[in-house]
Amino acid sequence: MVKVEGGVVAPKGFRAAAMNCGIKRKRKDIGLIVSSRPAVACGMFTQNRVKAAPVLVSKEHLKKMTAQAIIVNSGNANCCTGEEGLKDAYEMAGSAAKALGISNEDVLVASTGVIGRELPLDKIRAAIPQLIKDLSEDDGKCIAEAIMTTDKVTKEIAVKIKIKGKDVRIGAVAKGAGMIHPNMATMLCFITTDVNITRRALKLALSNAVDKSFNSISVDGDMSTNDSVIVMANGCAQNVLLDRKDADFKIFSEAIDYVASHLAEAIIRDGEGATKFVRIHIKNAKTLEGAKRIARRVSTSMLFKTALFGQDPNWGRIAACVGASGVMIDPDKLDIYLGKTRVLKDGVGSLKDKDALGKLFKNTDLDVTIDLNSGGKEYSMMTCDISLDYIKINASYTT
Amino acid sequence: MVKVEGGVVAPKGFRAAAMNCGIKRKRKDIGLIVSSRPAVACGMFTQNRVKAAPVLVSKEHLKKMTAQAIIVNSGNANCCTGEEGLKDAYEMAGSAAKALGISNEDVLVASTGVIGRELPLDKIRAAIPQLIKDLSEDDGKCIAEAIMTTDKVTKEIAVKIKIKGKDVRIGAVAKGAGMIHPNMATMLCFITTDVNITRRALKLALSNAVDKSFNSISVDGDMSTNDSVIVMANGCAQNVLLDRKDADFKIFSEAIDYVASHLAEAIIRDGEGATKFVRIHIKNAKTLEGAKRIARRVSTSMLFKTALFGQDPNWGRIAACVGASGVMIDPDKLDIYLGKTRVLKDGVGSLKDKDALGKLFKNTDLDVTIDLNSGGKEYSMMTCDISLDYIKINASYTT
């Protein structure tokens, strides 16, 4: 696997364009990704019961199992907008489809931004001719820009692998900085690939990758109404059709894992106001479910996250989270490590040296290992601290 | 029911004293509450699997079903301190018992403060003679002071009621400002009363009151290792013995409810860095459990709490929380009110006037009503915002 340039247009047969259509004041707020031919497609969407209109429309359109384009806007989530909002989302896909000369169901749609405001459909409709004119194989980054909300940096990646003797490319773009939590809180991710693959193999690769990446990160414990991860595989690499049981599926699957994990890490590193990047490792848990619950409890603890921000190695808060997770752990077997230094051994504080302790939270990148010594299951998660800037950003998002 | 002065020493036969013993630099850090005779006693403690040593000791001592004293320190939680910590907690009770001339099991013990540091038992032991000398019927407030950690104000209350023709008093003191979440996160509450009551009636009254008060508040979603609510009833009011089925039990029960709710509200109003006091009402839920889950999800949402702080009436975040709660709500039936103003009707934003919206989060006291229109169950919870000061306080708690 080698990294290549180009983001979502790195794979053969994909073009993209983006521009400002007036939802935001100046920055790009609308983007279009188009495949030269119908692509096998699948998606994973928010598990929030309150789903934004574009999520409902994309899920509906994906029943066809193929797609040829994605249209996406930022600045407005088109959520809690009722029948009108749903009509707008269908119309957003329909307008793009009409201009591209493909069927409505072949266009997927995504939105991100403020909840509860009417989508300015006229502005979107008016932008479509220009977007189509601007479609290019050269620039994937424009999409990364067009989907940013509170993101400080663009997030994209592309890799090249060999599948059955042919070069295959995978490109991807993501957005997300706040409202990030397992089950994909406010994040969008579009993955393009020119692999020739069955839909069930594509679906399996996507769901494995999402589980290990976007479902294993938490910025603030909130889950959005608009999360969407979509993958389109157009077969332009002309490899012999890849299925789940092929030996090469592992190579493809690992590449998707890599791409998704890279973007998930980028989201956490760009976490709203984040000053620390933390991997939480749960070891020797009785069950995987238990390990996940503990990792999520720690990664959403305000007290842990503020201690991180303050570089205050208050490991007692980590122990308190483990105990509060609802998992039946044995507190007398609990070990906690900050980096490689053990601070809790058999449930008892084991590092008395305050100076040594004080240094443990100084690094920007940190590992916290929680060893339950009770079984063989492991789980890891990425998270960040909660800083003064997080509060500042989120205290005035709509005003 | 009338309010009276005196806090925990308002009921007959109770005395209290507090002082600085050197755990903290200057402020009071140790307190003692003593009943003139053995009192019927019960307690409710943290459900955290990691329990501090004093919690284990008090639970053990309460098996006797009576108690005569409570010794409490702040500044050190005596948690994650292993066998030594447990020995220290037993010794803390034992030293007080010996000096008071009562049995060890008649002394309950509580600690609050930093986790994972050895309890300075010598300092506590040395303070006991002075505490006993200082015991007084006049001052309950000293206990309120001695249990403060990040609390900005003391929290105490006392009331007088009539039970079977006799005056009965209930006094109570509490601490708590952070790590506050259902199932009693870092809070201590000691309730004294001179009522003559059966233990099973006392236990029922306490558990009802805690459910409606301390288990229905959230500052930051964290659950502590040291939470303890203890009640002692010494019978000095000489009323005819009160049991669960007596008509007067309701009067007593309501008084305990009132006292606990008053202190729970005081904890939220003193929430670390809090600038807003919010009641969240869930209406017309299918199940009580569902209503509770939704209330807890909203009251722990960083995005909701930062919007509160910023006075940004971003009700979309409330809708997102409701959907993210895991409860099978019908998004098309969801109504949300800020105060008396409906902002979401049948899942669709219903207040377009930005100026009117802008005013909704200006008050210090707020009501958020979430009507699921799906059943008859209701639940309410108290919470506060998350401010810049919360982060500042918690970023440097031990350093």
**ipTM, interface predicted TM-score of the complex:** 0.76
Is the separation of the CB atoms in B386 and B220 below 8 Å?
yes
- B332 shares a domain with B249: no
- B239 shares a domain with B176: yes
- A281 shares a domain with A263: no
- Could you give the CA distance from residue B134 to residue B19 in angstroms, rounded to a whole number? 9
The per-residue pLDDT for range A73-121, each reduced to its tens digit, is: 999 999 989 999 999 999 999 999 999 999 999 999 999 988 888 999 9
Q: Classify residue A15 by burial, with Cβ atoms within 10 Å: 0-12, 13-18, 19+.
A: buried
pLDDT the model gives residue B350 = 83
- Could you give the CA distance from residue B278 to residue A55 in angstroms, rounded to a whole number? 32
For residue B186, pLDDT over 70 is answered with: no
pLDDT the model gives residue B257 = 96
What is the four-CA torsion angle of A345, A346, A347, A350, rounded to 10 degrees? Answer: -20
pLDDT the model gives residue A352 = 74
pLDDT the model gives residue A302 = 83
How many beta-carbon pairs under 8 angstroms link A with B? 231
Mean pLDDT computed over A193-218: 93
For residue B181, pLDDT over 60 is answered with: no
The yes-or-no answer on residue B186 being catalytic is yes
Pairwise CB contact (< 8 Å): A320 & B348: no
- Residue A391 forms contact with B (CB below 8 Å): yes
pLDDT the model gives residue B183 = 40
- A116 shares a domain with A22: yes
Q: Which two tokens stand for residue A231?
A: 């993958």
- B163 shares a domain with B76: yes
The per-residue pLDDT for range B190-244, each reduced to its tens digit, is: 999 999 999 999 999 999 999 888 888 876 555 678 889 999 999 999 999 999 9
- A338 shares a domain with A226: no
Residues 6+ apart with CB under 8 A from A101: none
Lowest mean pLDDT among A48-52, A162-166, B50-54, B168-172: A48-52
What is the SS3 assignment for A348?
A: strand
Pairwise CB contact (< 8 Å): A319 & B185: no
The per-residue pLDDT for range A286-311, each reduced to its tens digit, is: 999 999 999 988 988 888 888 888 88
- Residue B202 forms contact with A (CB below 8 Å): no
Q: Which domain holds residue B156?
A: 2-269
Average pLDDT over chain A, rounded to an integer: 91
Pairwise CB contact (< 8 Å): A320 & B117: no
Q: What does pTM read for this prediction? A: 0.82
- Domain CATH code at residue B323: 3.10.20.340
- Residue A320 forms contact with B (CB below 8 Å): yes
- A177 shares a domain with A116: yes
Chain A partners of B323 at a C-beta cutoff of 8 Å? 48-51, 223, 225
Is the separation of the CB atoms in B132 and B33 below 8 Å?
no
- Could you give the CA distance from residue A103 to residue A345 in angstroms, rounded to a whole number? 62
What is the SS3 assignment for A53?
A: helix
Q: Which two tokens stand for residue A174?
A: 């993501």
Phi, psi at residue A299, to the nearest 5°?
A: -75, -10
Q: How would residue B396 be classed by pLDDT, with cut points 50, 70 and 90?
A: low
- Could you give the CA distance from residue A55 to residue A42 in angstroms, rounded to a whole number? 13
Mean pLDDT computed over B318-323: 90
Mean pLDDT computed over B86-109: 98
Q: Which two tokens stand for residue B260?
A: 């606990």
- Could you give the CA distance from residue B123 to residue B22 in angstroms, rounded to a whole number? 6
* CA distance to partner chain A, nearest, from residue B91 (Å): 19
pLDDT the model gives residue B136 = 97
pLDDT the model gives residue B220 = 56
The per-residue pLDDT for range A37-72, each reduced to its tens digit, is: 999 999 999 888 889 999 999 999 999 999 999 999
**Percent of chain B's residues with pLDDT above 70:** 95
How is residue A106 annotated by DSSP?
G
The per-residue pLDDT for range A244-288, each reduced to its tens digit, is: 999 999 999 999 999 999 999 998 888 778 888 999 999 999 999
How is residue A198 annotated by DSSP?
-
Is the separation of the CB atoms in B318 and B298 below 8 Å?
yes
Residues facing A265 on adjacent strands: none
Is the separation of the CB atoms in A232 and A67 below 8 Å?
yes
Which of B55, B394, B397 to mutate to probe the A interface, most A CBs <10 Å?
B394
Residues facing A31 on adjacent strands: A18, A72
Greater confidence (A181 vs B298) lies with: B298
Helix count (H) and strand count (E) of chain A?
11, 16
User: Which chain B residue has its CA at the smallest distance from A303's CA?
Assistant: B394
- Could you give the CA distance from residue B14 to residue B36 in angstroms, rounded to a whole number? 6
- A294 shares a domain with A245: no
Question: Which of residues A221, A244, A269 is at a domain's end?
Answer: A269
- Residue B345 forms contact with A (CB below 8 Å): no
- A291 shares a domain with A258: no
Q: Which two tokens stand for residue A172?
A: 């991807």
Identify the sign of the CA torsion B265, B271, B273, B277: negative
Q: Among candidates A375, A14, A391, which has minimal Cα distance to A194?
A: A14
Which of A372, A394, A397 to mutate to probe the B interface, most B CBs <10 Å?
A394
User: Which chain A residue has its CA at the smallest distance from B350's CA?
Assistant: A116
- Residue B309 forms contact with A (CB below 8 Å): yes
The per-residue pLDDT for range A321-374, each reduced to its tens digit, is: 898 888 999 999 999 999 999 999 999 988 777 788 778 888 889 999 999 999
Helix runs in chain B, H state only: 53-61, 82-100, 121-134, 141-146, 199-212, 248-269, 288-299, 302-309, 315-324, 354-359, 388-395
Question: Which of residues B206, B237, B269 is at a domain's end?
Answer: B269
- A112 shares a domain with A229: yes
- A137 shares a domain with A187: yes
* Number of domains, chain B: 2
Interface of A with B in 234-253 (CB under 8 A): none
Which of B46, B80, B183 to mutate to probe the A interface, most A CBs <10 Å?
B80
For residue A183, pLDDT over 60 is answered with: no
* CA distance to partner chain A, nearest, from residue B235 (Å): 36
Question: Which of residues B251, B269, B287 is at a domain's end?
Answer: B269
- Residue A147 forms contact with B (CB below 8 Å): no
pLDDT the model gives residue A159 = 98
pLDDT the model gives residue A391 = 79
pLDDT the model gives residue A225 = 82
- Domain CATH code at residue A96: 3.60.70.12
- B182 shares a domain with B154: yes
Pairwise CB contact (< 8 Å): B117 & A349: yes
